[in-house]
Amino acid sequence: MRSGAPRTARLPALRRPLSVALAAMTGLAVFAAVIAHAQVEPVATDSAAAVQTGIASRLSSYLAVSGVLFVLGLATIVVRRNAIYVLMGVELILNAANLNFVAFARFGGHGLDGQLFALFTIILAAAEAAIALAIVLRIFHDFGTIDITRTDSLRD
Amino acid sequence: MLDFMFLVFGGMAVLGALVLFGHPSIVHGAFALVLSLFGVAGLYWTLGADFLGAAQLLLYVGGVTVLLLFAVMLTTRDVARPQMGRYVIAGVLSGLLVPHLLRAGSALVAVVGGSDGALPDPQPTTESIGIALLTRDAFLLPFEAISLLLLMVLVGAVTLARRSPEEES
């Protein structure tokens, strides 16, 4: 509609590999940093007692995955202009929070409370998705687009 | 074995999120989200949360993503590609956020204790979750509240998505 559309159409060959490479580099850098941190952290603490040191029996490895999901979800929300992508990013962030709940319930020794919290969060996320997609359909019907930078008629 | 499962499922979760972030097609993104949510369900299983993993599969992988694909089918027309400036914003935000996440994570690991000693073997959780949901001192009130909320969501979604009568005519 505005000057953005033809410009993106002119440079697809350059733009697509560049953006994908950028995304991959960001994600891999975050993942590597967090995993490296997760590797370093517990070795210092349990060097005295020779307990099991598998990567799946550490809280920090789950926190690493959760952190990566959170950052990627946030990046998706910031980067994309399609409202459905924004909702997908929200789902990723909710999943990261849920993973934290379950991991802390497992390693913190608080029984099932964390799992029940995560269960309620899953139900709330499903409810949120239903309502939000109904709103997206409504916006599409009224504006003819779901580009979140163009549905700004209240601003004028 | 558990380590292997963690790596597989964690890799699925991260890979799906990466594809969702980077791939230009929204349908590919939706299926990448399915992959990522399945990976998270697998991580729940490695954590001993069998019921929660099944609920995640049913509600997210089965329900929410089908809803998302349905919305994609009904709406998407011409949404422009993201501009480079937004990638810069996302990069700066992530760069600011990640050190704080790392610091908070290590502080929490220090508080909770991480992996001191062997963890008990995970037990089946379905029965205890059911009992906790229907016990008054535990989670009965949230359980009833969320059932009310689901009813409201049902009515609200139908009301929002329906065309109003004057448009029909």
Average pLDDT over residues B15-23: 89
pLDDT over threshold 50, residue A48: no
Q: Is A144 left (phi over 0), alpha (psi -120 to 50) or beta?
A: left
Contact B160, A138 (CB under 8 A): yes
pTM given for the model: 0.79
Average pLDDT over residues B14-34: 89
At the topology level, CATH places domain B1-77 in: Four Helix Bundle (Hemerythrin (Met), subunit A) (1.20.120)
Average pLDDT over residues A127-153: 83
Q: Which residues of A touch B98 (CB under 8 A)?
A: 30, 33-34, 67, 71
* Domains observed in chain A: 4-155 (1.10.287.3510)
One-letter amino acid identity for A3? S
Q: What angle do CA B75, A82, B90 make, to 5 degrees?
A: 170
Structure token pair of residue A152: 């700004």
Residue with the larger pLDDT of the pair B51 and A81: B51
Q: What angle do CA B7, B13, B16 make, to 5 degrees?
A: 130
pLDDT of the residue at A149: 77
pLDDT of the residue at B83: 73
pLDDT over threshold 50, residue A118: yes
Contact B118, A51 (CB under 8 A): yes
CA distances from A87 to A111, A121, B86, B87, B95 (A): 32, 15, 17, 18, 22
pLDDT of the residue at A8: 45
Query: Which of A20, A31, A99 lies nearest to residue B40, judging by beta carbons?
Result: A99
The Cβ of residue B152 has, within 10 Å, a number of other Cβ atoms equal to 11
Interchain CB distance below 8 Å, A63 and B72:
no
pLDDT over threshold 80, residue B169: no
pLDDT of the residue at A93: 94
Instruction: Report the gap between the CA of A101 and the closest CA in chain B (Å).
Output: 10
pLDDT of the residue at A28: 66
Domain boundaries, chain B: 1-77, 124-169
